[in-house]
Chain A
Amino acid sequence: MARKIADDGPKGRTMQPLLELYEQDACYDEYATENGVPRPHYAGLAATLRAIEWSDLRAREQTVNAVLLQRGVTFTVYADSRGTERIMPFDLIPRIIPGSEWSRLSRGVAQRVRALNAFLADVYHEQRILREGVIPWDLVYSSKFFCREMIGLRVHRNVYIHVSGIDLIRGSDGTYYVLEDNLRSPSGISYVLENRDVLKRSFPKLFENYQPLPVDDYPLRLRAALRDSAPQGLRSSGRDEPTIVLLTPGIYNAAYFEHTLLARRMGVELVEGNDLIVHDNVVFMKTTRGLQRVDVIYRRIDDDFLDPLYFRPDSSVGIAGLMNAYRAGNVVIANAVGTGVADDKAVYPHVPAMIRFYLDEEPILENVPTFDCTNEREREHVLAHLGQLVVKNTNQSGGYGMLMGPASTAEEREHFREAICAHPRDFIAQPVIQLSSHPTIAGERLAPRRVDLRPFVLYGREVDVPPAALTRVALSEGSLVVNSSQGGGSKDTWIIEDEG
């Protein structure tokens, strides 16, 4: 199915052909049309790449990697006992999204977050959507992430999802689908910020020509959202501002770099569980001048670890008594506790219904068709077609606990068959969506590699979608798995204004 792309640009002297040999896969290609002609918004990039020598591109790549390593833009490899740090592979070829397309995507993800947030407010209070039979009771109550402690607890402005990342992919006709909603402290924004910063230094001219929308105000927009999450009563800094902290599990966490970057750029303290203490249902941090009150905790640890008195008693990164302070309204936790029930993979198929139910709107972005394994007919279909479907465990994420049907062995399929029959609530199945491809440096040439897109959505007073989205790329040929834990890399993502 590979198609060779004609290149009508000037042939370089003796240089390695970069784009001449770009062969498309059988999927939607971001860069070129089916006829191999670069799409209009990629014409400028194509011209730049034609003018660049292969060795030059390599040299720039090495410089960029050295800068990222020196800055410590790394994640820790858990499997390695020495705690080796690696940089997340960064591909130099930027992904470009036209403004009109982005505006539809950002309206789409904002709509989704509004509906998901309304769902959370509803299931923890009136439960209208359950009583009216739109979503089954047992689906919500059987969710591992449904948090009974949250029932009846009022959160300021009814905002639960202060920060989210919505994963989008494109089918073979170019249609965008929502693959997953990440509502429990999604990470990746540090790569967006750092990728942009280093790429700017490598291709200043190209930037000048394209003028992509800047990403570097993200931390300030995040801080504004966190500030708005606190009611008027929580203003302990004395300057009509709440005291905000970022709670990290510590330096061994894979996303620690991101926590430090965000804390630094927002100008807030980066705290670990041991830095906080609860007295009389008020949270304090231990400072060199005694205890200082904390109003807002942007936490980057899971619900389970927040408070050893309420959740896992073995948590060493949490704060004893935090939930009592939260329930007393003396501290804001962002994201709110219990948001996981809304991004449970088994709840995902119902998001379009939520949009209609709460917003009375039609969904702007489509869901990937999903089979519900608790439904007997759908389960039979799934079991009969395991070889063609993607099966996901609803309790796992990050590309773990997944069956890629077409690439699976009979043994793996048998394993999943038994698991699905034993615990149908824990599994969903979806057709294999091809994912769009994008030119990516692969060995000594540019080759199509599959990409997804994660826009980040902030919600303090209003929903805010900064033009800062993460493109993840599957670096091995034909692979559809983009997770960094599974060998994925990332690209800088440019949102450009449409001409005219």
Chain B
Amino acid sequence: MLSRVAESLYWMSRNLQRAESLARIVDVAFNRTVDRNVAGRQQATAMWRSVLGLVGVPGDDAYPGGSRFATDAFALATFSREHHSSIVSCIHIARQNAASVRAELSSEAWEAVNALYLFIEKQSPRAVVRAGPSSLLREIRDAGVAFGGIVDATITHGEEWNFLQLGRYLERAAMTSAILQTHDEADDSVPEWQRILEMCCASEPFARTLRHSNDPHDALAFLLLHRTFPRSVRYCTVEVDQALHRLSETQPGTFSNEAELVTGRLAAMLDFVRLAEIVDDGAVGFSRRLAGRLAEIGTSVEATYFPLVPAA
């Protein structure tokens, strides 16, 4: 398989996953700020700043807050073409990558990406703001989730699919650790952790699994370490590890390249870490270090599989 193609598949998958995650995050943030029950304006502004941080908008300057701050922040996170992590930018990048690997994608997969692109292109930001963002964000979220199902069901689970898996799970892990970093450590309240769970698409699975626990440590452990929740950092790391070993056709638990080495180490750490150690570290601090190690995996995947001139 061409290195360029592998790279495009990987970035297409990452960007679609990011668009899906962002759509959910923005939706949660919007719902929480238009709601009268939130603790107050200042807190809401702080939350939006942290959300905009995920989109690559450097909070304080670009987003001063203001009377219509929820609407303004929503429009910025969704439609900004200047910021390469806004939802619309992610979809553009994904579609650009999809276009360059059209021959390798199934028609269904390409059409799904193209349809999402055409959909976002025909939206007028002003009209969306008037109608409320919920249905738009929902469409984007659903299209992102559906894309995973479409590729799973329409392409062979060979090399191409493994690069899609790499992108999808690495992005999910990165997003969960990024959302945890937005946690306000002074506030361990139920609504604050509920927000974090919702942004990670975890509130219902968490409620079902932990029987409506109110303990923030349970939520933290669920998001980081749960074995079968498909957005926990541990689950995603295991998926990345497996995709890498399928690609190199080597045994899990061994390594044949840098990407497998750093992924294997992270997976082992997540297997054997005690919750108490994480709590000692602090949710934010631990997540920040985690994000660094995930970024390292990304860099080593690129160096292993997408070099400009691969070793013969």
Q: Which of A258-317 contact B (CB under 8 A)?
A: 259-260, 263-264, 269-272, 274-275, 277, 279, 284-291
Chain A: minimal CB distance from B7 (Å): 9
The answer to whether A250 has its CB under 8 Å from any CB of chain B is yes
A72 at the interface (CB under 8 A from B): yes
Q: Known contacts A275-B2, A287-B3; can you find 5 more A-B pairs with CB under 8 A? A: A71-B110, A71-B111, A251-B99, A259-B103, A288-B305
Residues of chain B within 8 A (CB-CB) of A260 are 102-103
B96 touches A286 (CB 8 A): no
List chain B positions with a Cβ less than 8 A from chain A: 1-6, 96, 99-100, 102-104, 107, 110-111, 114-115, 118, 159, 247, 305, 309-312
- Interface residue? A358 (CB, 8 A): no
Task: Verify A263–B103 contact, CB threshold 8 A.
Answer: yes
The dominant DSSP class at the A interface is mixed
Question: Lowest 3 CB-CB distances: which A-B pairs, in order?
Answer: A260-B102, A263-B103, A270-B103
How distant is the Cα of A289 from the Cα of B312 in the complex, in angstroms? Answer: 8
**For residue A284, which residue of chain B has the nearest CB?**
B312
Contact A291–B2 (Cβ < 8 Å): no
Q: Is the CB of B100 within 8 A of A250?
A: yes
A69 to chain B, nearest CB (A): 7
**B6 CB contact (under 8 Å) in A263, A271, A288, A291:** A288
Contact of A285 among B2, B107, B115 (CB under 8 A): B2
B103 touches A264 (CB 8 A): yes
Contact mask for chain A residues 223-257; partner B; CB cutoff 8 A; 1 contact, 0 none: 00000000000000000000000100011000011
What are 18 A-B pairs at a CB distance below 8 A?
A: A70-B111, A70-B115, A71-B110, A72-B110, A250-B100, A251-B96, A251-B100, A260-B102, A264-B107, A269-B5, A271-B2, A285-B2, A286-B3, A287-B310, A288-B1, A288-B3, A288-B305, A291-B310
B247/A288 in contact, CB under 8 A: yes
A72 neighbours in B (Cβ, 8 Å): 99, 102, 110-111, 114
Distance to closest chain B CB from A127 (angstroms): 41
Q: Complex Cα distance A174/B12, Å?
A: 52
Which residues of A have CB within 8 Å of B103?
A: 246, 259-260, 263-264, 269-270
Interface class of chain B by DSSP = helix
Q: Is the CB of A264 within 8 A of B102?
A: yes
Tell me the A61-102 residues at the B interface (CB within 8 Å).
69-72
Q: Which residues of B contact A264 (CB under 8 A)?
A: 102-104, 107
Point out the residue from B1, B104, B118, B309 that lies within 8 Å of A70, measured CB to CB: B118
CB distance from B159 to the nearest CB of A (A): 7
B94 CB to nearest chain A CB (Å) = 14
What is the CA–CA distance of A52 and B46 in the complex, to the nearest angstrom?
Answer: 62
Q: With A71-B114, A269-B2, A286-B3 known to touch, is A291 a contact of B312 (CB < 8 Å)?
A: yes
Across the interface, do B2 and A290 meet the contact criterion of CB distance under 8 Å?
no
* Distance (whole angstroms) from the CB of A354 to the closest CB of chain B: 37
Inter-subunit contact B309/A286 (CB<8 Å): yes
Q: When chains A and B are docked, how far (Å) is the Cα of A291 from the Cα of B3?
A: 10
Q: How far is the CB of B258 from chain A (nearest CB, A)?
A: 15
CB distance from A317 to the nearest CB of B (A): 13
Q: Chain A residues near B111 (CB, 8 Å)?
A: 70-72
Contacts of A290 in B (CB 8 A): 310-312
- In the complex formed, the residue of A with least CB distance to B100 is A251
Q: Does the CB pair B310–A256 fall under 8 Å?
A: no
Q: Which of B100, B102, B104 has the most CB of A within 10 A?
A: B102
> In the assembled complex, how far is the CB of residue B246 from the closest CB belonging to chain A, in whole angstroms?
12
Please name all residues of chain A whose beta carbon is closer than 8 Å to the beta carbon of B309 when the two chains form the complex.
Answer: 277, 286
Complex Cα distance A270/B309, Å?
A: 18
Min distance, Cβ B255 to any Cβ of chain A, angstroms = 17
- Measured CB to CB, the nearest residue on chain A to B307 is A286
Residues of B within 8 A of A71 (CB): 107, 110-111, 114
Q: How far is the CA of A272 from the CA of B3 in the complex (A)?
A: 11
Chain B CB within 10 Å — which of A257, A284, A286 has the most?
A286
Which residues does chain B contribute within 8 Å of A288, judged by CB atoms?
A: 1-3, 6, 159, 247, 305, 310
Contact of A69 (CB < 8 Å), options: B96, B107, B118, B310: B118
Query: Are A287 and B1 within 8 A (Cβ)?
Result: yes
| Residue pair A256, B118 in contact (C-beta under 8 Å) | no
Minimum CB–CB distance for B257 against chain A, Å: 11
Q: What's the Cα separation between A279 and B110 when bound, in Å?
A: 34
How far, in whole Å, are A71 and B111 apart by their CA atoms in the complex?
6
The interface residues of chain B lying within 8 Å CB-to-CB of A270 are: 102-104
Interface centre among A71, A72, A288 (most CB of B within 10 A): A288
Known: A288-B159, A290-B311, A291-B312. A275 touches B4 (CB 8 A): yes
Q: Which residues of A contact B6 (CB under 8 A)?
A: 288
Listed residue (B3, B115, B247) with the most chain A CB atoms within 10 angstroms of its CB: B3
CB-based nearest A residue for B98: A72
Which chain A residues border B96 with CB–CB below 8 Å? 251
Separation of A288 and B159 alpha carbons in the complex (Å): 9
- What is the CB-to-nearest-CB distance from B138 to chain A, in angstroms, rounded to a whole number? 20
Q: List, in ascending order, chain A residues with CB within 8 A of B118's CB.
A: 69-70
How far apart sit A288 and B160, CA to CA, in the bound complex (Å)?
11
List chain A residues, Cβ under 8 A from B102: 72, 257, 260, 264, 270
Q: A263 — which chain B residues lie within 8 A by C-beta?
A: 103
Closest to B112 in A: A70
B107 / chain A contacts, CB cutoff of 8 Å: 71, 264
Docked pose: A257 CA to B6 CA in angstroms: 20
**Bound-complex Cα distance A275 to B237 (A):** 30
CB distance from A77 to the nearest CB of B (A): 15
What A residues does B159 contact at CB under 8 A?
A: 288
Chain B residue numbers with a CB within 8 Å of A285 are 2
CB distance from A108 to the nearest CB of B (A): 34
- Write the nearest CB–CB distance from A261 to chain B, whole angstroms: 8
Residues on B with C-beta less than 8 A from A279 are 312
Q: Could you tell me the distance in whole angstroms from the C-beta of B115 to the nearest C-beta in chain A?
A: 6
Within the complex, the shortest CB–CB distance from B259 to chain A, in Å, comes to 12
Residues of A within 8 A of B1 (CB): 287-289
Q: Measured between C-beta atoms, what is the minimum distance from A246 to chain B in Å? A: 8
- The distance in angstroms between the C-alpha atoms of A279 and B311, with both chains bound, is 13
Verify B312–A272 contact, CB threshold 8 A.
Answer: no
Which residues does chain B contribute within 8 Å of A275, judged by CB atoms?
A: 2-4
- Alpha-carbon distance between A260 and B105 when the two chains are bound, in angstroms: 10
Set of chain B residues within 8 Å of A274, measured between Cβ atoms: 4
C-alpha spacing A264/B99, complex, angstroms: 13
Q: Which residue of A lies closest to B114 (CB)?
A: A72
Residues of chain A lying within 8 A (CB to CB) of residue B99: 72, 251, 256
Candidate in A256, A270, A272, A277 with the most chain B CB atoms within 10 angstroms: A270
Q: Which residue of B lies closest to A267 (CB)?
A: B103
Q: Knowing A250-B100, A251-B96, A263-B103 touch, does A286 contact B110 (C-beta < 8 A)?
A: no
A202 to chain B, nearest CB (A): 18
| Shortest distance between the CB of B107 and any CB in chain A (Å) | 7
